C-alpha cells in the first residue's frame, strides 16, 4: 500500500470514530502529500456516505440508529 492508501485508511478510521480533530489532521496530511482535491473529496464521501442519511441526522452503527448533526461538515 502506498502512503496515500495508508492515509485514506487512517482517514476512514478517524471518520468512523467520529474523531473530528484526528480526521482533520489526516486531511491536512493528504493535502501536504499533494493528493488531488477531487480524490480527497471522493474518498471522504465514499467513507462517510453509507453512515449518514441526509437530511435525517442519523447514522446506522451496527444496526443501531444514532442521531447526529454531522451532515453539514465534510469531515464530521
Q: Where are the domains of the chain?
A: 3-50
d(CA 23, CA 13): 8
Peptide bond into 6 cis (omega under 30): no
Quick one: pLDDT at residue 28? 96
Is residue 44 a contact partner of residue 11, using CB atoms and an 8 Å limit? yes
Quick one: pLDDT at residue 76? 47
Quick one: pLDDT at residue 21? 94
The 8-class DSSP code of residue 73 comes to S
Quick one: pLDDT at residue 49? 82
52 in helix, strand or coil? coil
Please give the chain's pLDDT, 76 residues, in tens. Answer: 457 789 999 999 998 888 989 999 999 999 999 999 999 999 998 998 877 655 566 777 888 887 776 555 554 4
Amino acid at each position: 500500500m502506498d502512503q496515500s492508501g495508508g492515509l485514506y485508511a487512517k482517514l476512514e478510521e478517524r471518520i468512523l470514530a467520529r474523531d473530528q480533530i484526528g480526521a482533520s489532521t489526516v486531511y491536512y496530511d493528504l493535502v501536504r502529500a499533494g493528493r488531488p482535491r477531487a480524490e480527497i473529496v471522493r474518498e471522504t464521501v465514499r467513507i462517510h456516505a453509507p453512515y449518514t442519511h441526509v437530511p435525517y441526522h442519523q447514522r446506522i452503527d451496527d444496526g443501531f440508529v444514532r442521531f447526529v448533526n454531522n451532515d453539514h461538515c465534510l469531515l464530521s
